[in-house]
Amino acid sequence: MPVSRIKLLPDHVANQIAAGEVVQRPASVVKELMENALDAGANQIKLIVKDGGKTLIQVVDDGMGMNEIDARMAFERHATSKIAKAEDLFQLNTKGFRGEALASIAAVSHVELKTKPADTELGTYIKIEGSKIITQEPVATAKGTSVSVKNLFYNIPARRKFLKSIQVEMKHINNEFYRLALAHPEISFSLIHNGNVIYQLPKSNLLQRISNLFGNKLKEKLVPVNEETEYIKISGFIGKPEFAKLKRGEQYFFVNNRFVKSAYLHHALLSAYEGLIKEKSYPAYFVFFEIDPKHIDVNIHPTKTEIKFDDEQTVYSILKVAAKHSLGQFNLSPSMDFDAKPELDVPYDWHKKTPKLPEIKVDPDFNPFVENDDDFGLKGKTPKKYFEKKATYWENLIQNAQNQPDETIIHSGLDKQNDFIPGNNPLFNGAFQFQNKYIISQKDNHLLIVHQNRAHQLILYNELLQQIQNGHIPSQQLIFPVELKLNKPDVELIKNYEKNINKMGFEIEFEQNSAVLIKGIPPELKTAEITSIFEEIIRQLSMEAPVDPLQIEKKLAEIIAVQSAVKSGQKLEREEILKLLSDLFKQQNPAYSPKGKKIIINLKPDELERKFNT
């Protein structure tokens, strides 16, 4: 008779194996117990930890509590009140649902439970060691539930040995605490470690909760993001590009108030920052998704931190567009006041309104036969008269700036078509060039310093993208074609991207002697810049080689814009200065160049005053 090799594991061994999936370290216990408290409808949750969770993890809540039978059943495997049939998995609105957390925790620790519902005089006390119930008796206790987990992994020495230092384990506990506290700002949380109060978080809104956890300075570095569609609603805050860090920091996604990790969503958000932040930089974000539970599956990972959407491409696109809108609308502000009255902000849905035709103003005193020169119409006047008039002009300008409210968004006051006409706005009339590199101007009580090279880069870049979107960039034929001597690998690279390059307004032919003949170029380009542009095209496409045609064209547009923009040190005539400013502030996002470098420095009078007083 053959010997049977397959045997059923004893319950205590099966529980320990299951615990390995759910309880990886003290932070896993914190997550499960706090989620249970949230599912119980708690308004206050207290987390007490000793020695990084190795000695004690206690969660106390004021939720609904459990009766004697439920308290005992809660420690059985797969005992749950959240689901009754498989279909319920697709309509989940709770944190936990599998009914394995308490059973797994009890299998590898000493657990004490005190719980009482509001409608009973006495509660229930249960003591468990390694899945064995030691004590169960009535107890006088407050409404809600208190769960104490002591000596984690006491019966699995190998697992306990692999726990890290107290500091490391506490860092993981903090991470779990952050995630749940951010997801529920309407609930009061506290964290106590070794008798010291680490966090005492009152009920608040999301922004205040972020400030309480990460400091008030972070609040000034965020902009709101909001988008609502029939499929999904997105809300929260994302970081301003200039505060992106070189390492991952405050980055949180929540789906139906459940923290999730998603490389797919992370990529979607980062794509909105394209050209605004340096490579391998990471912005902060706190983004919440609200979606019908039937469109998601959270049951794909034991810790439920991964999620699957039934239409991932739609979520990707909506998130990317929402983030781009927020960055374009807000990131010019030197500081954001989230307590300001919302009626003073430009409504987000204005992009849906039908544009109005601009008013046309006619100067009845204009005489085309009288020669005009400067801004003050004083050609031929005496120098004394000229300087008197100019002094009066600056005095009036400063007086007007002092009388106007302190606006934080550079676009304010520039939303009328007539404001972009030189002579109608002080932003242009008072502008001048400094060191042939910067353009100095004034808007209200702000001093603006514009980097002329980067500003022109952005203008050219957006013009090229607009022409691509409209169909095709025109090509300017060269009377004398330019021949480029290249090696074979470079020629092959140009051949691989020939279609994309031609779409940018170039006309190229390939000679037999590994030469490339340039017969046509974009109108913005100068013949002298052809060689340097193709050298840069070869260098960048050799390094990155994007596959998506749109990304290739964006890269080519960036190269052309950078190479053909006005250079630092190049003197500009007054008309050129005015046109550069006018074109810059017509851009949707004039703050950063195509390479993500700052274009505008915005100084307030108090900032200047501090420099004189230091």
What global pTM score does this model have?
0.55
Residue 590: Cβ-neighbour burial (10 angstroms; 0-12, 13-18, 19+) = buried
**pLDDT tens digits, residue range 21-48?**
678 899 999 999 999 899 889 999 999 9
3-state secondary structure of 252: strand
Q: Pick the more confident residue, 99 or 163.
A: 163
User: Average pLDDT, stretch 2-21?
Assistant: 65
User: Average pLDDT, stretch 393-403?
Assistant: 55
Residue 296 has pLDDT above 50, yes or no: yes
Residue 258 has pLDDT above 80, yes or no: yes
Q: What is the mean pLDDT of the chain?
A: 79
* H or E segment to which residue 139 belongs: strand 132-139
User: What pLDDT does residue 190 have?
Assistant: 95
From the DSSP assignment, how many helices (H) and strands (E) are in the chain? Answer: 19, 22
Of the candidates 206, 210, 313, which has an alpha carbon nearest to the alpha carbon of residue 265?
313
**pLDDT tens digits, residue range 422-432?**
444 555 567 88
Residue 344 has pLDDT above 70, yes or no: no
Distances (CA, A) of 294 to 1, 86, 92, 611: 52, 13, 8, 58
The residues, ordered by sequence, that sit 6+ positions from 189 with a Cβ below 8 Å of its Cβ are 44, 45, 46, 47, 177, 180, 181, 199, 201
Residue 474 has pLDDT above 80, yes or no: yes
Structure tokens given for 34: 């706090």
Of the candidates 172, 32, 43, which has an alpha carbon nearest to the alpha carbon of residue 94?
32
Report the 10 Å Cβ neighbour count for 9.
10
Structure tokens given for 135: 């004590």
Q: Pick the more confident residue, 158 or 222.
A: 222
Rounded to whole angstroms, how far apart are CA atoms 27 and 168?
Answer: 10
User: What pLDDT does residue 336 have?
Assistant: 44
Three-state secondary structure string covering 511-574: CCCCEEEEEEECCCCCHHHHHHHHHHHHHHHHHCCCCCHHHHHHHHHHHHHHHHCCCCCCCCCH
Q: Out of 331-345, 417-431, 473-487, 497-511, give the one with best mean pLDDT.
A: 497-511
Three-state secondary structure string covering 432-460: EEECCCEEEEEECCEEEEEEHHHHHHHHH
Residue with token string 């002080």: 426
Structure tokens given for 504: 């940018």
3-state secondary structure of 328: helix
Of the candidates 165, 178, 241, 255, which has an alpha carbon nearest to the alpha carbon of residue 210?
178
- On whether the CB atoms of residues 441 and 413 are closer than 8 A, the answer is no
The neighbouring-strand residues paired with 612 are none
User: Average pLDDT, stretch 74-94?
Assistant: 56
Structure tokens given for 15: 């529980």
User: Average pLDDT, stretch 476-489?
Assistant: 80
Least confident of 414-428, 530-544, 547-561: 414-428
Annotate 344-403 with DSSP letters as a single string: GSPPGGGGGSPPPPPP----TT--TTS---STT--TTS-HHHHHHHHHHHHHHHHHHHHH
- On whether the CB atoms of residues 97 and 80 are closer than 8 A, the answer is yes
The residues, ordered by sequence, that sit 6+ positions from 75 with a Cβ below 8 Å of its Cβ are 102, 103, 106, 111, 126, 128, 131, 133
Rounded to whole angstroms, how far apart are CA atoms 281 and 277?
Answer: 6
CA 108 distance to own-chain centroid: 40
Q: Pick the more confident residue, 567 or 304.
A: 567
Rounded to whole angstroms, how far apart are CA atoms 520 and 568?
Answer: 27
**pLDDT tens digits, residue range 356-368?**
777 777 666 555 5
Annotate 200-217 with DSSP letters as a single string: EE-S--HHHHHHHHH-HH
Q: Which amino acid is at 548?
A: D
Residue 86 has pLDDT above 60, yes or no: no
Contacts 24+ apart (CB under 8 A), 536-543: 536/562, 536/563, 537/494, 537/497, 537/501, 538/486, 538/490, 538/493, 538/494, 541/493, 541/497, 542/493
3-state secondary structure of 287: strand
Residue 338 has pLDDT above 50, yes or no: no
User: What pLDDT does residue 277 have?
Assistant: 85
- On whether the CB atoms of residues 432 and 440 are closer than 8 A, the answer is yes
Rounded to whole angstroms, how far apart are CA atoms 396 and 62?
Answer: 64
- On whether the CB atoms of residues 176 and 31 are closer than 8 A, the answer is yes
User: What pLDDT does residue 551 have?
Assistant: 80
Rounded to whole angstroms, how far apart are CA atoms 546 and 464?
Answer: 18
Phi, psi (degrees; rounded to nearest 5) at 444: 55, -125
Considering all CA atoms of the chain, what is the largest pairwise distance in Å, rounded to the nearest integer? 123
| In the chain, % of residues over pLDDT 70 | 74
Residue 574 has pLDDT above 90, yes or no: no
Least confident of 347-356, 537-546, 559-568, 595-604: 347-356
Rounded to whole angstroms, how far apart are CA atoms 143 and 122?
Answer: 9
Residue 415 has pLDDT above 60, yes or no: no
Q: Report DSSP state, residue 417.
A: G
3-state DSSP percent of the chain in helix, strand and coil, to 5: 40, 20, 40
Confidence at 195, pLDDT banded by 50, 70, 90: very high
Q: Which domains does the chain show, CATH number per domain?
A: 11-201 (3.30.565.10), 206-344 (3.30.230.10), 395-614 (3.30.1370.100)
Q: Pick the more confident residue, 398 or 404.
A: 398
Confidence at 253, pLDDT banded by 50, 70, 90: very high
3-state secondary structure of 588: coil
Of the candidates 101, 98, 89, 79, which has an alpha carbon nearest to the alpha carbon of residue 34?
101
Confidence at 306, pLDDT banded by 50, 70, 90: confident
Rounded to whole angstroms, how far apart are CA atoms 415 and 596?
Answer: 24
Phi, psi (degrees; rounded to nearest 5) at 56: -150, 140
N-terminal to C-terminal alpha carbon distance within the chain? 95
The CA radius of gyration of the chain, in Å to the nearest whole number, is: 32
